[in-house]
């Protein structure tokens, strides 16, 4: 295939998603690997003097292209999975893993970074470039560069095997999710379900030329059953299917993740020991803010202790309500969401369904953009670019008429798209030969697509939770796009400690609870009326409904993850299932049924880079709640100019600096002090 005709090798501007096909993947990756190896070979040769310009820049120029091309392939694999694309991805992934592993272990390159650090030129380098060199030296050590040759070879094998297992884990979850269908012909069995949910299920059945209603394990399809369906047996059926997917109880042995989990844990443990650490948790924490697994476990236990009385109270109330009002004597796992929704409707006299009518997509997007424009003095405009699906929209961010970033918005769930919501970078900001290369982000969610009623397309309606998710991912996007750092290694989200990367995303969530913001982003789908103040007040009153239970659930997942990589013996007789049961015994007040196999689809830690890092959601929430406190203090004074001033300071000290300095320094520069847990407890209604 002619290189000039391969769209994956065109780096002149945005990815050509309309032209990329699975058959382009292997030739493009092979060509880029060949180029990269040639550059590496040149850079390995002795040099009279190592400088930034003759060493770091050529290496970065080569590896950036490879990273961008593979990033496009990985993104497509996550949002438009097809058998052909999956085959191309799996065929090329080992080559990519092998290259990056070899690069991270390259002693000649490691020595040159050391020479840069110890050279005469180092003192004159910018703090940003010094940080990149420090990070590189750290990553070489973590990449096994200092290992003897025989151990290097084993280290490389571990990386390759791990990458394959991680991909297989993800594919098993996706396949199990896509394969499941619950068909219900009798509409009476769907009592309690909102009309729009039933319409979507009817449309799904019609698409398959089946009678009745089709429900799947995609979140917008199965969750409303747990939340609203009066029929307990239907709730149990979908709960069980979701809780056992990709496990030995899921019915399809080829999608069982038990073996993948066990093997990945062994490989991680072996990697840690090769590098001279006692466990994988220690390896994971080297580039993070937290100092040790013990510190993280202490933080989580402290949070669990503070949340427990609130969680116990939440559960006692729910049990009493379910018994007296719903006739449910024993609350089962499949009753929890349903009973909680009924209790919330009773206590606060509103339902999620009622709120949803006020959040049509165009109004929400408009409100989000309006807030960002006000806070950070930028403009967001529609833009055009080739996309991978007709539902995807594209936008640009400008400052004083200058382009500073662009992003794709892919909002709806569909077959072949990985579940959940995430932000990823399509390219980072850097100084290029012809000026600044502006950053580009992917923002991906899995919301319900617009319904077609009587031949007319209605706008997609978002729950308030989905609005919060959108703001969360957009916070990540802002971190990536509003950076002012011109060095690729630490611009945007690059080089930011993993346990601080959630700060901007969780920070943005807070605005979803501000009346001044919500007024401008709500309009009833039928009448156009904004969200009534009375309904907003009820939502706010309900904001911390069951926050004790929610907090303990996050602590449970975080402790499970940390113990799994800290003091769990992957070769021992205690299974992963035993460990999660043990953690639940210690911290949970609600223990799921014995058949629950949550870990078999816990993609964050087995396919998403959060291994021994899931705690970072709570860790960063301390930072984000405290940072938001500055806006509360500015806003309480009712002074718009102070609010804008605070927004600009947040942009300057947190968003703009990216990973160019430690996150704690950025936080202190913004807040003027160390972070405290007080704001987090207050925001969750758990303050003393």
Domain boundary assignment for the chain: 3-146, 180-244
Contact 501, 616 (CB under 8 A): yes
Residue 370 has pLDDT above 90, yes or no: yes
Quick: pLDDT tens for 649-687. 999 999 999 999 999 999 999 999 999 999 999 999 998
pLDDT over 90 for what percent of the chain? 94
Buried b (16+ CB within 10 A) or exposed e, 635-659: beeeeeebbeebbeebbbbbbbbbb
Residue 578 has pLDDT above 80, yes or no: yes
How far is C-alpha 450 from the chain's CA centre?
24
What average pLDDT does range 562-584 have in this prediction?
Answer: 98
Q: What angle do CA 151, 154, 156 make, to 5 degrees?
A: 110
Rounded Cα distance, 564 and 316, in Å = 31
Rounded Cα distance, 457 and 471, in Å = 25
Contact 339, 438 (CB under 8 A): no
Contact 597, 169 (CB under 8 A): no
Rounded Cα distance, 661 and 490, in Å = 9
How far is C-alpha 22 from the chain's CA centre?
26
Rounded Cα distance, 320 and 306, in Å = 23
The counts of H helices and E strands in the chain are 26, 11
To the nearest whole number, what is the mean pLDDT of the chain? 96
Rounded Cα distance, 669 and 649, in Å = 9
Strand ranges (E), 192-282: 213-215
Main-chain phi, psi angles of 424, to 5 degrees: -140, 155
* Dihedral (CA of 409, 415, 420, 424) sign: negative
Rounded Cα distance, 201 and 218, in Å = 12
What average pLDDT does range 135-145 have in this prediction?
Answer: 97
- Strand bridging mode 452-453 / 456-457: antiparallel
- Strand bridging mode 213-215 / 379-382: unpaired
Quick: pLDDT tens for 300-323. 999 999 999 999 999 999 999 999
pLDDT band per the 50, 70, 90 thresholds, residue 634: confident
What average pLDDT does range 493-522 have in this prediction?
Answer: 94
Beta bridge partners of 409: 393, 443
pLDDT in the model for residue 140: 97
Q: How far apart are the two ends of the chain, measured CA to CA in Å?
A: 67
pLDDT in the model for residue 636: 60
pLDDT in the model for residue 398: 98
Rounded Cα distance, 385 and 15, in Å = 8
pLDDT over 70 for what percent of the chain? 99
pLDDT band per the 50, 70, 90 thresholds, residue 579: very high
Q: Which of 637 and 442 is assigned the larger pLDDT?
A: 442
DSSP secondary-structure letter at 654?
I
* Dihedral (CA of 160, 164, 165, 166) sign: positive
- Quote the tokens at residue 165: 């297992």
Q: What angle do CA 520, 523, 528 make, to 5 degrees?
A: 130
pLDDT in the model for residue 433: 86
Residue 2 has pLDDT above 90, yes or no: no
What average pLDDT does range 107-127 have in this prediction?
Answer: 96
DSSP secondary-structure letter at 254?
G
Rounded Cα distance, 156 and 267, in Å = 11
Quick: pLDDT tens for 214-253. 999 999 999 999 999 999 999 999 999 999 999 999 989 9
Quick: pLDDT tens for 381-400. 999 999 999 999 999 999 99
In CATH terms, the fold of domain 3-146 is Glutathione S-transferase Yfyf (Class Pi); Chain A, domain 2 (1.20.1050)
pLDDT in the model for residue 46: 95
Neighbours of 297 (CB within 10 A): 18
Nearest Cα to 195, choosing from 523, 453, 447?
453
What average pLDDT does range 102-106 have in this prediction?
Answer: 96
Rounded Cα distance, 562 and 495, in Å = 22
Helix (H, G, I), strand (E, B) or coil at 193: coil
Give the burial class of 534: count Cβ atoms within 10 A of its Cβ; 0-12 exposed, 13-18 middle, 19 or more buried.
Answer: exposed
**Residues 6 or more apart from 213 whose CB is under 8 A from it?**
183, 184, 185, 187, 190, 198, 201, 202, 204, 205
pLDDT in the model for residue 17: 98
Residue 357 has pLDDT above 80, yes or no: yes
Residue 361 has pLDDT above 70, yes or no: yes
- Quote the tokens at residue 73: 């392939």
**Residues 6 or more apart from 89 whose CB is under 8 A from it?**
25, 73, 74, 77, 167
Neighbours of 42 (CB within 10 A): 12
pLDDT in the model for residue 637: 53
Q: Which of 55 and 5 is assigned the larger pLDDT?
A: 55
Quick: pLDDT tens for 443-481. 999 999 998 888 888 999 999 999 999 999 999 999 999
Contact 642, 634 (CB under 8 A): yes
What average pLDDT does range 109-115 have in this prediction?
Answer: 97
Neighbours of 430 (CB within 10 A): 20
pLDDT in the model for residue 3: 62
**Residues designated as active site:** 473
């Amino acid at each position: 295939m002619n290189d000039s005709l391969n769209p994956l090798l065109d780096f002149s501007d945005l990815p050509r998603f309309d032209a990329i096909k699975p058959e382009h993947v292997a030739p493009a990756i092979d060509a880029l690997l060949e180029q990269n190896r040639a550059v590496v070979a040149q850079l390995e040769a002795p040099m009279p003097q190592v400088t930034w310009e003759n060493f770091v820049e050529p290496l970065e120029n080569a590896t950036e292209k490879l990273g961008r091309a593979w990033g496009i392939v990985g993104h497509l694999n996550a949002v438009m999975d097809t058998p052909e694309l999956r085959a191309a991805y799996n065929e090329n992934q080992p080559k990519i893993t092998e290259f990056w592993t070899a690069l991270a272990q390259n002693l000649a390159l490691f020595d040159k970074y050391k020479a840069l650090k110890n050279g005469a030129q180092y003192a004159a380098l910018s703090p940003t470039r010094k940080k990149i060199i420090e990070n590189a030296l750290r990553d070489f050590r973590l990449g096994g560069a200092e290992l003897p040759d025989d151990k290097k070879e084993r280290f490389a094998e571990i990386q390759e095997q791990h990458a394959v297992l991680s991909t297989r884990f993800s594919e098993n979850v996706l396949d199990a999710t896509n394969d499941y269908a619950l068909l219900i012909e009798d509409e009476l069995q769907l009592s309690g379900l909102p009309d729009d949910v039933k319409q979507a299920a009817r449309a799904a059945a019609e698409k398959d030329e089946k009678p009745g209603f089709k429900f799947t394990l995609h979140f917008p399809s199965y969750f409303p059953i747990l939340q609203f369906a009066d029929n307990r047996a239907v709730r149990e059926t979908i709960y069980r299917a979701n809780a056992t997917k990709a496990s030995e109880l899921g019915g399809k042995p080829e999608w069982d993740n038990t073996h993948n989990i066990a093997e990945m844990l062994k490989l991680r443990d072996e990697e840690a020991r090769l590098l001279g650490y006692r466990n994988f948790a220690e390896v994971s924490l080297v580039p993070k803010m937290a100092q040790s697994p013990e510190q993280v476990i202490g933080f989580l236990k402290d949070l669990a202790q503070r949340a427990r009385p609130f969680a116990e109270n939440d559960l006692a109330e729910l049990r009493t309500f379910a018994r007296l009002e719903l006739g449910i004597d024993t609350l089962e796992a499949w009753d929890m969401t349903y009973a909680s929704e009924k209790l919330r409707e009773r206590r606060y006299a509103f339902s999620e369904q009622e709120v949803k009518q006020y959040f049509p997509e165009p109004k929400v997007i408009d409100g989000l953009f309006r807030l960002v424009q006000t806070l950070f003095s930028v403009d967001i405009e529609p833009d055009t670019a080739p996309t991978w699906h007709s539902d995807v929209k594209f936008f640009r961010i400008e400052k004083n008429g200058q382009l500073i970033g662009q992003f794709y918005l892919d909002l709806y769930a569909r077959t072949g798209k990985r579940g959940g919501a995430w932000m990823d970078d399509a390219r980072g900001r850097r100084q290029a030969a012809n000026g600044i290369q502006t950053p580009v982000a992917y923002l991906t969610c899995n919301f319900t697509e617009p319904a077609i009623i009587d031949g007319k397309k209605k706008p997609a309606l978002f729950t308030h939770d989905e609005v919060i998710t959108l703001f969360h991912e957009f916070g990540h996007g802002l971190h990536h796009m509003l950076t002012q750092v011109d060095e690729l290694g630490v611009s945007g989200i690059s080089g930011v400690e993993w346990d601080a990367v959630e700060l901007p995303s969780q920070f943005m969530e807070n605005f979803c609870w501000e009346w001044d913001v919500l007024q401008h982003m709500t309009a009833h789908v039928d009448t156009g009326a904004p969200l009534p103040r009375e309904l907003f007040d009820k939502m706010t009153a309900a904001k911390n409904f069951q926050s004790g239970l929610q907090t303990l659930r996050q602590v449970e997942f975080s402790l499970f993850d940390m113990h799994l990589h800290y003091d769990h013996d992957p070769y021992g007789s205690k299974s992963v299932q035993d460990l999660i049961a043990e953690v639940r015994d210690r911290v949970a007040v609600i223990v799921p049924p014995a058949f629950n196999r949550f870990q078999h689809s816990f993609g964050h830690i087995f396919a998403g880079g959060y291994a021994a890092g899931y705690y970072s959601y709570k860790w960063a929430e301390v930072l984000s709640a405290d940072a938001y406190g500055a806006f509360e203090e500015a806003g309480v004074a009712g002074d718009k100019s102070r609010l804008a001033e605070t927004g600009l300071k947040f942009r300057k000290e947190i968003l703009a600096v990216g990973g160019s300095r430690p996150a704690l320094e950025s936080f202190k520069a913004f807040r003027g002090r160390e972070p405290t847990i007080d704001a987090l407890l207050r925001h969750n209604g758990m303050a003393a």
